[in-house]
Structure 1
Amino acid sequence: MSKKLIRPTDIEEAQINAAALADPDNLPLTDDELQQFRRAPGRPPGSGKKEQVTIRIDAEILEQFRATGNGWQTRINDALRDWIKHR
Structure 2
Amino acid sequence: MKKKLIRPSAKEDAAITKAAKSDPNSRPLTNKQWDKVKPTLTRGRGRPLGSGTKEQVTLRIDSDTLAFYKSKGNGWQTFINLLLGEIKKESKSIKLVEKKVINGNLITTKSKIAA
Q: Which has the higher helix share?
A: 2
| TM norm structure 1 | 0.48
- Rg: which structure is higher? 2
